[in-house]
A and B are shown apart, each in its own frame.
Chain A
Amino acid sequence: MDSHILIQQLANGLVLGSTYGLIAVGYTMVYGIIGMINFAHGDIYMVSAYLTALVLALLGASVSPLVALILAFVLVVGLTAVFGFSIERIAYKPLRKSPRLAPLISAIGVSLILQNYVQITQGARNQAVPTLIPGGLEWNVGGGVVGITWVQVMIIVVSQLAMGALTWMISRTALGRACRATEQDPKMAAILGINTDRIIATVFTLGAAMAAVAGVLVTLNYGSFDFSIGFVTGIKAFTAAVLGGIGSLPGAMIGGLLLGLSESLFSGFVNSDYKDVFAFSLLVLVLIFKPSGLLGRPQVEKV
C-alpha cells in the first residue's frame, strides 16, 4: 500500500464525504420531523447543479470569478430553497394525514417530474461549467505527489461553515427551538402555539438550501453533470444519513464523512467499478443490523 495513494484517497474521501453530509442533512431533518423519506431530495440537488451552470453562463466573463462565485451561491441557494418550499407545499402538504405510503409515492412522482422537466428544458446531454478557480496545493509524500485543488479546499471549508451555521440555528435560535419541539412531538408543539405547518415548510426549505450548497460546490469541482445525477447521489446521501443515525444533525455529517472516506478507499484499493455496489450494500447492511445508526435513537414500535 503506497502512502501517497492512501493520503490522496483520504483527501478525496473527505471532499466527497462533506458533500454527502450536506445533502444528508435534508434527508435527516425531513425524516426527523415528519418521518418520511424525501425521495425527490437528490433531484433538488441535481436542479441546483443546473442552476449553478445557468448563473455562471449568464454572468459569463463580465464579472471577476470571486464575484461570480458569491453571486452563484446566493442565487442558487435562494432559488433552490424556494424549490424545496414549493415541492413541500404542492406534493407533501395535502398528504399530511394519509397513510405512510402516500407521501413516498408522491415523492417518487416529484422525482420523476424534476428529472424529466430538466431533460425536456435542457436536453439529455452532459452539461459542463468552466473552471472558475484553477490550481491547488501539492505535496511530495513517500515517493508520490498528493494534490488537492482550491475548489476541494473550498468544499471542505464551506461545508463545515454551512453545517456550523445550521447547527447554531437549530440549537440556539427561536426557530430552531420550534423545529426541535415539532420533531419531538408535533401535536404538543401545535398545542403550545407553534405553527407546525410553517416549521415543516422551513425544514424542507433549509434542506433544499443545504443541498444547493452541495450542488454549487460539486458542480464547481467536477465541472460536468447530467439530469440523472440526483438519483445515485441522493441514495448515497440517504445512506450517509442512515449511517449517522437518521434524525440526528451531527450524525448526518459524520455519516457523510464516513461514507465518503470508505467509498474512496474502496475505489482506490479494491475496485472502482463496484464502488456504488459497496455504498448500496453498506446501506442495506446498516438498515438491517443497526437501523438507528451511530447517533440515532432506536425507534420504539407503538400501537
Chain B
Amino acid sequence: MSRKNQLMDYIKQGFITFFLSLITLGPLAAWQLQGYEVSGSLLRAFRLSLALAVFRVIQMGINSRKQAAKKEVKGIDLSSNNGSRSLSGIFQWENHSQGTKLFLSAVLLVAALAPMFGGNYALTVGITAFIYVLLGLGLNIVVGLAGLLDLGFVAFYAVGAYSYALGAEHWGMGFWAAIPFAAGLAALLGCLLAFPVLRMHGDYLAIVTLGFGEIIRLILNNWLEFTGGPNGIKAPYPSLFGLEFTRSARIEGGTTFHEFLGIEYSSDYRYMFIYATLLLVVACTIFAVSKLKNMSIGRAWEALREDEIACRSLGINHVTVKLSAFAMGASIAGVAGVFFASYQGFINPTSFSFFESALILAIVVLGGLGSIPGVIMAAIVLTVLPELLRQFAEYRILIFGISMVGMMIWKPRGMMANVRARLKVKPTQQSAKT
C-alpha cells in the first residue's frame, strides 16, 4: 500500500470512528437526565468522539508498524542441524521456572517486610490485595488451568464468609476451626455444582455457574431468619490460642491479646495478625498450586482445557478431573471468604454480587490464564491501583472493562503468559564444534 493510500485510510477510519462514537456514546455524554428534563451540551460528546478517533488512528499506526516488524522476523534455520544427530542433540528443555521462583520470592519478601513500613492503612490494603490473590489463584485453577469458565465463583467466597459468621453465631465456631470447615463446605458445594454441569462446556457452563452464583446471593438476601438478609450478619474477629484481639474479652473470664502480653491496646495488632496469617495462607496456596500444576492432576486439567474428547479417548477420567478442579478452586475461595469475614467483622450479600465475580475473572484474565505469577501481580495491581488513584475511582470499572476487551484482542494470553516447560532448538554454535 502506498503512503498516500495509507494516509487516506487513516483519515477515513478516523472519521468513521468519530461519527460512530458520536452516534452511540454521544447522546449519553451530551445530555444528562435531571428528572423529566435534561441538561448539558453537545461539546462533551464532540470531545469524547474526537479523543476516540485520535486513539483509533494511533492504534492503526501501531498495528501497521507491528505487522511490518513481523515480516522481518526469520524462521529458525533447522537445516544447519544435520540429520545424523539425535533429537536430544537438537532440542533442549527451555526452563522458565527460575524467573517465576525469583518473582514469587520477591513478592513474598516485600509482602512480609511491608507492615514494618506501612501503617494501619497499608495493612488493610494489603489484606484486601491478598484476599484477591487467593480468589484469583482459586479461579485460576477452574478457568485458567481446567478451562471451565465459572461466572459464579463469588458463591464459594460467600459460602466461606457466611459459614464462618453463621458458625460463630450458632455453634460458637472459632476462626481456626472455620478455615477447614469453610474450605470443606465450599469444596462440597463446588462438587455439587460440578456434577450437573459435567456434560456442558464453554458458554452454557458460564451461564449455569452465573445463575448458581446469583441464586446463592438471592437466597442470602431473602432468607431473613437465617442469614439476616440485606442487613447482614456480624462475624467475630479472629483469635490466637484463645487470645482475642478486642479491647475487652467477649467471653467471661477470657484474656485478650494485649492483656496477655501486658501491652497497650491497639487495633493494629488485629490487622497485623490477620495480615500475617493471610500471608502464610497465600504462600502455602501458591506453593500447593504450583506443585499441583506439575502433578498429573494439573497436567490433566490443562489437557482437558485443550481438548476434552482427546483426553477422554486417552483414558483421562473427565469426571474426577473436573470435580477436582471445581473443588480445589472452591475451597480456596472458601478460605478467602473466612478471612474477608473476620477482617470486615461484618458481611452482607452486597459484597457477593456478580461484579465481584467479574472482578476476579478480570484478575485471572489480565494476569494470564493459568499463570500463577500473572494472577498474583494482577490481583495486587487491581486492588492497590484504585487505592492510589482515588480521584479516578468512578472510572475503575470502566478501565476494568476496557482492559478486559483490549487484553482479549491484543494480548489474549495476559500480562504474564502461562508458559509450560517445553523443548526448544539448541543454539547452532554447538553443532559447529561437534
**What residues of chain A have their CB less than 8 Å away from a CB belonging to chain B?**
31, 35-37, 47, 50-51, 53-54, 56-58, 60, 79, 82-83, 86, 90-91, 94-95, 98-106, 108-123, 127-130, 231, 235, 238, 242, 273-274, 276-277, 280-281, 283-284, 287-288, 291, 301, 303
Where the two chains meet, the residues of B that have a C-beta atom closer than 8 Å to any C-beta of A are 20-21, 23-25, 27-29, 31-33, 35-38, 143, 147, 149, 151, 196-197, 200, 202-204, 206-208, 210-212, 214-215, 218-219, 222, 309, 354-355, 358, 361-362, 365, 369, 394-398, 400-405, 408-409, 412
Compute how far the CA of A120 lies from the CA of B395 in the bound complex, rounded to whole angstroms. Answer: 8
Question: How far does the alpha carbon of A110 sit from the alpha carbon of B354 in the complex, in Å?
Answer: 15
**Residues of chain B with a CB closer than 8 A to A105's CB:** 149, 361, 365, 404, 408
- Give the complex CA separation of A102 and B404 in angstroms: 10
**How far, in whole Å, are A104 and B150 apart by their CA atoms in the complex?**
12
Q: Within 8 Å CB of A119, what residues of B?
A: 394, 397
B147/A101 in contact, CB under 8 A:
yes
Complex Cα–Cα for A119 and B28 (A): 10
Contact between chains at B33 and A235 (CB < 8 Å): no
Q: Are B212 and A287 in contact (CB under 8 A)?
A: no
Q: Is the CB of A111 within 8 A of B401?
A: yes
Question: Which one of A57, A86, A117 lies within 8 Å of B28 (CB-CB)?
Answer: A117
Q: How far is the CB of A263 from chain B (nearest CB, A)?
A: 14
Assuming A101-B202, A105-B365, what are 12 further A-B pairs, CB within 8 angstroms? A54-B27, A82-B24, A94-B409, A101-B143, A101-B149, A103-B408, A104-B203, A106-B408, A109-B362, A116-B397, A274-B222, A281-B215
- Contact between A112 and B149, CB atoms less than 8 A apart: no
A245 to chain B, nearest CB (A): 13
Q: Considering only CB atoms, which chain B residue lies closest to A289 in the complex?
A: B196
Chain A residues whose CB sits within 8 angstroms of the CB of B214 once the complex forms: 235, 276, 280
Q: Looking at the complex, which one of B32, B369, B403 makes contact with A123 (CB distance below 8 Å)?
A: B32
Option from A99, A127, A284 in Cβ contact (under 8 Å) with B215: A284
Given A105-B361, A110-B405, A118-B28, residue A284 in contact with residue B212 (CB < 8 A): yes
CA A281 – CA B23 in complex, angstroms? 38
Q: Which residues of B contact A280 (CB under 8 A)?
A: 211-212, 214-215, 218
**B27-A51 in contact (CB<8A):** yes
Contact among B36, B203, B409 for A100, CB-based, below 8 A = B203
The answer, among A47, A112, A231, A274, for a CB contact under 8 Å with B400, is: A112
A102 touches B412 (CB 8 A): yes
Chain B nearest CB: distance from A297 CB in Å?
A: 15
Contact A54/B28 with A106-B409, A238-B207 known, Cβ cut-off 8 Å = yes
Candidates B23, B35, B207, B396; contact of A287 at CB < 8 Å: B207
Taken together as a complex, chains A and B put the C-alpha atoms of A102 and B411 apart, in Å, by 11
Given A79-B24, A113-B398, also A284-B208 (CB < 8 A): yes
User: B412 touching A98 by the CB < 8 A rule?
Assistant: yes
Structural contact, A50 and B197, CB atoms closer than 8 A = no
| Contact status B404-A288, CB under 8 Å | no
Residues of B close to A238: CB separation below 8 A: 207
A-B contact pairs, 11 of them (CB 8 A): A54-B27, A54-B38, A86-B21, A95-B409, A101-B202, A108-B358, A110-B401, A116-B395, A119-B394, A277-B215, A280-B215
Closest to B306 in A: A99
Which residues of chain B have C-beta atoms less than 8 A from A277's C-beta? 215, 218-219, 222
CA distance A238 to B36 in the complex (A): 32
Q: Which residue of B lies closest to A56 (CB)?
A: B36
Q: In the complex, which residues of chain A have a beta carbon less than 8 angstroms from the beta carbon of B21?
A: 86
B208:A288 contact, CB within 8 angstroms: yes
Q: Which residues of B contact A112 (CB under 8 A)?
A: 355, 358, 397-398, 400-401, 404
Q: How far is the CB of A119 from chain B (nearest CB, A)?
A: 8
Asked if residues B408 and A54 are in contact (CB atoms below 8 Å), the reply is no
Bound-complex Cα distance A102 to B196 (A)? 24
- Given A109-B408, A277-B215, decide whether A57 and B36 contact each other with a Cβ distance below 8 A: yes
Residues from chain B with a CB closer than 8 A to the CB of A101 are 143, 147, 149, 202, 369
Give chain B nearest CB distance to A231 CB in angstroms.
Answer: 6
Q: In the docked arrangement, what's the CA distance between A253 and B396, Å?
A: 37
Do B405 and A91 have beta carbons less than 8 Å apart? Answer: yes
Given contacts A82-B23, A280-B218, whether A122 and B32 have CB atoms under 8 Å apart is yes
Chain A's nearest CB lies how many Å from the CB of B155? 12
B203 in contact with A116 (CB, 8 Å): no
**Contact A120–B404 (Cβ < 8 Å):** no
Contact A273 B222 (CB under 8 A): yes
Contacting residues, chain A, for B204 (C-beta < 8 A): 287, 291
Q: List the A side residues contacting B402 at CB < 8 Å.
A: 109, 113
Q: A234–B409 Cα gap in the complex (Å)?
A: 24
Report the nearest A residue to B308, measured CB to CB.
A301
Whether the Cβ atoms of B36 and A95 lie closer than 8 Å is no
Q: How far is the CA of A288 from the CA of B212 in the complex (A)?
A: 12
What's the Cα separation between A18 and B380 when bound, in Å?
A: 45
By beta carbon, the residue of chain A nearest B365 is A105
**In the bound complex, CA of A86 to CA of B52 (Å):** 13
| B-side contacts of A123, CB under 8 Å | 32-33
B397 in contact with A115 (CB, 8 Å):
yes
B215 to chain A, nearest CB (A): 5
Closest B-chain residue to A129, C-beta based? B36
Residues of B within 8 A of A94 (CB): 409
The CA of A123 and the CA of B396, in the complex, are separated in Å by 15
Name the residue of chain B whose CB is nearest to the CB of A130.
Answer: B36
- Contact assessment for B31 and A54 in the assembled complex, using a CB-CB cutoff below 8 Å: yes
Residues of A within 8 A of B412 (CB): 98-99, 102
Cβ–Cβ contact A113 & B354, under 8 A: no
Among B31, B206, B212, B404, point to the contact of A109 (Cβ < 8 A). B404
CB distance from B69 to the nearest CB of A (A): 19
Give Cα A121–Cα B24 distance, bound, in whole angstroms: 13
Chain A residues positioned under 8 Å from B151 (CB to CB): 108
Identify the 8 closest CB pairs spanning chains A and B, nearest first. A109-B404, A112-B401, A113-B401, A109-B405, A116-B397, A116-B398, A280-B211, A106-B408
Chain B CB within 10 Å, residue with most, of A60, A109, A127, A277: A109
